[in-house]
Amino acid sequence: MTRISFFFMMASFMSCAQPSPQFETEQLLGKKEISLAGNGCQLLPQAADAFEQMKAAAKKEGIKIKAVSSFRSYQRQRAIWNRKYKANAKAGLSPQKNIQKIIQYSTIPGTSRHHWGTEIDIVDGAIPPEGDVLLTRKFHNSGPYEPLRKWLEAHAQDYGFICAYPDDSERPGFSYEPWHYSYAPLSRPLYKAYLKLDLKEALSDLDMEGSNHLDQAFLMAYRESHVKGINPVLK
């Protein structure tokens, strides 16, 4: 067991053994300004330090880990949602089909794990980007990011990072994202705190496209499938 693996194991044990700290609702929803750090990314300081260690280890094996997305505020997530909703509506999708298409990969503002400063989307920065880089096929079948995926699957957990949405046919919610990694020692207590929120009340002031179609029944189903539909190791 490596020294880093030992510290990650102890951090994981402590996060399970101790009561979850209290987090403000605004922080959980991405509406609170929080202290962030990172070189080319925005993460909570502890997560940023671990990410730098992981990048250094990967670099020794010829892989240049690059973050293409990290912390994302409520306002930023809302802008992403509105852009996709308008494009889908212009293409003729009904509100219901529009929402279902968006939530294959994108979250409702206020429900994104990226709001916490513990999540990061990763590619290999040594490879010139072509078009949309966050496509599953680019991480498989001799795609440009396949070596990165294999390295992450073998080593990311040594630095505290876990794939949030793995390739598991039994897992509900968001589609497989081989690029999305979560810093588990910090994201676990945030996740547990988030589950205590009354989601309908917390999202009562949603100001976004299609919000009138997100009723109580939909939000409760979404909570079970998408908020909870993560790698069990992160729970």
Identity at 51, one-letter amino acid code: F
Q: Do the beta carbons of residue 117 and residue 43 sit within 8 Å?
A: yes
Residues 1-23 as b/e (b if ≥16 CB within 10 A, e otherwise) read eeebeeebeebbeebeeeeeeeb
**pLDDT value of residue 161:** 98
- Name the token pair of 40: 């080319």
> For 63-116, how does the pLDDT look when each residue is reduced to its tens digit (9 = 90+)?
999 999 999 999 999 999 999 999 999 999 999 999 999 999 999 999 999 999
Domain covering 22-228, topology: Muramoyl-pentapeptide Carboxypeptidase; domain 2 (3.30.1380)
Whole-model pTM above 0.75?
yes
Q: Which of 148, 149, 172, 123 is closest to 61 using CA atoms?
A: 148
